[in-house]
Structure 1
Amino acid sequence: METLGGIECFVRSAEAGSFSEAARRLGLTSAAVGKNVARLEASLGIRLFQRSTRSLRLTEAGTRFLAEVSGSLATIQSAVANLADAEGQAAGTLKVSMGNAFGREHIVPLLSDFLAQHPAIVPDWHFDNRQVDLIAEGFDAAIGGGFELPPGLVARTLAPAHIVLLASTAYLAARPAITHPDQLKQHAGIFIRSPQTGRIRPWGLINSKDARRKEQMPIDMQIRMTMSDPAASLEAAEQDLGIAVTSMPNAQPYLANKRLVRVLPDWYADAGALSLYFSAQKLLPAKTRAFIDFVVSYFRKHKMAQRFSAY
């Protein structure tokens, strides 16, 4: 197991480009990571890294070794985790990433039922609107949408990722009725800045009553403000400050209790799918498989895909 620990420190250091960042991801000290890698090098009789005060670079031998062991490491760790399950139960720390507003509204409420079925699992859930690197950052799974599937991952689709426009009734009542996307030009927009690019994504609206034509109209509004969090943008819309551009999963609670209403309810933008992402390895840890099965089953049973559809 000492060699396995050294290999894990080596792989994470190569991915992160530094011992300190690898240590942060592994929950160790930088010195411990460095010593583990040094022991591995000594046992192999080769130098894996070229070290300097400012950089950590793989040697030619290190590059070859990384290619050979990185894929196998996850499989070995999964096998060990499954053997360590308490009496066949899914067990261990479950590290999952999800959007802040989405996770708190739709996933946290499932926690008690999930733990009732799997009491030996310890949730370590991260609420962040960015796309995380599951493998490099050590996540077991993530829930998100609107981005391409990275190599080495697979996804289970949960629901469509539709983008809609929301505003308060007071904001709309004080202005002429909006019946077509062309009329949005005169309105204040509350936009979400992409956590990946830092920019406002130029969504194209599709008419659900004529979706076959796939004719798109731009969301052309004045930029009144931008937010990094969907919940913040919807709270700003509640203050009659403009029209929020957001996803249906985030919009759904505000529509259900009539805090906000749809603007152009026949129009939406298609951002792909809301999915549950996890490693493509053949042998998943029991804790990860339990989480995937639980969430997929819940979404199917409660018809969440239909609830999150914009039409």
Structure 2
Amino acid sequence: MNSLQQVAAFAETAKHGSFAAAARESGSAPSTLAKSVARLEASLGVKLFHRTTRQVALTPDGERLFQRCQRLLAEVDELHAEASGVRAGPSGTLRIDLPIVLGRRVVLPVLAELVRRHPGLALDVRLQDAYTDLVKEGIDVALRVGALKDSTLVSRRFGTQNMVLVASPAYLAERGTPRRLDQLAAHDALLFRMPSSGKDRPWQFRQRGNPVELHPASRVRLNDGEGLVEAACLGLGLAQLPDYFVRERLDTGELVEVLPGARPAPLPISLVYPGARLVPQRVRAFIEAMDAVR
């Protein structure tokens, strides 16, 4: 059991990047965690952290152990829950990472109903458009849009995202409605600056069944999708956005879809979580709740 406690101390420290931060989260003293990690290093014969006065960083050996011990600790938690008879309902903290707008509009209502049904369940929700390392950050489950790059994650298809080109009726009345892709160069483009790279997201279309990517010049760039919707409603130009960003504005007539026949292929939306032989019950409950709203 001491070895397991040492592994747990190591995992908490790796997750938070310092003994002090891990101690605040776990309710232990920083010196207690540091001693546990030192004993684990001595028993394994490897150095797990590069230490400074304020923070720690994983060594290559530490990285490998951290990835493996996440699965081990998840299974231990699940076995404890099974032995104590609490499998009748999920409990503990569900740590979830979500794209901002998709999270607010689609997932938060599901989570609200989930915690109402399960009083023992707590939520730690991170709304951000930049991808995070699920294992390193201790995230249970995330929603990802587009092709998945990390083959170590388990994925389940949740739905699809369509990209639509929109403009306000006032803008189109003044500038005309483009009917072909080659007419877009004569229009004002509103571009989204991707938070992960700082680059403009290109416009994507399909023409005669083939993908087409455009990089229009622009005087207006925003790093916030909802801000891009507002800019389009204000008549500043054409914007390409996920369909769920603009569905209400299309319904009210504040925006109009342009070139609907040239929409690009839909992007997959996937639920992803770290691979493990035992999936925590809180994650299974969330997946089931999301399946119900597909």
Question: Which whole-Å deviations, capped at 9, do the CAs of 1:175-234 have from their partners, x for residues lacking one?
Answer: 122101111112222222223222123343014xx5xxx323333432232222211111
Secondary structure at the residue paired with 2:218? strand
1:23 aligns to what? Answer: 22
Corresponding position of 2:226: 231
Deviation by residue 1:13-42 (Cα, 9 ceiling, x = unmatched): 5678x5369739966776554333124335
Retained in 2: the 8 A contact 1:96–1:139? yes
User: Which residue identity is paired with 1:74?
Assistant: A
Partner of 2:59: 58
Is the contact made by 1:6 and 1:36 (CA closer than 8 Å) also made in structure 2? Answer: yes
CA drift of 1:145 comes to 0.5
Letter in 2 for 1:136: K
* Secondary structure of the corresponding residue to residue 38 of structure 2: helix
Q: Which amino acid aligns with 1:222?
A: A
Contact 1:93 / 1:123 at 8 angstroms: preserved in 2? yes
More deviation in 113-122 or 275-284? Answer: 113-122
Q: Distance in 2 between matches of 1:85 and 1:225?
A: 57
Cα separation, 1, equivalents of 2:214 and 2:188: 11
Contact 1:129/1:229 (<8 A) preserved? no
Which amino acid in the other structure matches residue 109 of structure 1?
Answer: P
Confirm or deny that 1:272 pairs with 2:267.
yes
Cα distance in 2 for partners of 1:192, 1:24 equals 40
Q: Which amino acid aligns with 1:49?
A: L
Query: What are the equivalent positions in structure 2 for 1:132-211 lying under 5 Å apart?
Result: 132-207=132-207, 210=208
Structure 1 residue 71: Cα displacement: 4.3
Do the aligned residues in 2 keep the contact of 1:14 with 1:58 (CA within 8 Å)? no
Q: Distance in 1 between matches of 2:211 and 2:60?
A: 51
CA shift at 1:77, angstroms? 3.5
Structure 1: runs of 5 or more not aligned: 300-311
CA RMSD of aligned residues (A): 3.2
Pairs aligned (count): 291
State the 1:120 CA deviation.
2.1
* 1:252 partnered with 2:247: yes
In structure 2, the partner of 1:305 is none
Structure 1 residues 136, 296: CA separation in 2 closer, same or farther (over 3 Å shift)? same
Task: Give the drift of 1:64.
Answer: 7.4
SS at match of 2:184: helix
| TM-score, normalised with respect to structure 2 | 0.83
**1:86 counterpart residue number:** 86
User: CA shift at 1:252, angstroms?
Assistant: 2.3
* Equivalent runs, 1:97-136 vs 2, <5 Å: 97-136=97-136
Identity of aligned residues (%): 28
Per-residue deviation at 1:116? Answer: 3.4
Give the Cα–Cα distance (whole angstroms) in 2 for the partners of residues 76 and 163 of structure 1. Answer: 42
- 1:217 paired residue among 212, 215, 227: 212
Which residue of 2 is the match for residue 41 of structure 1? 41
The 1-side partners of 2:256 and 2:31 are apart by: 55
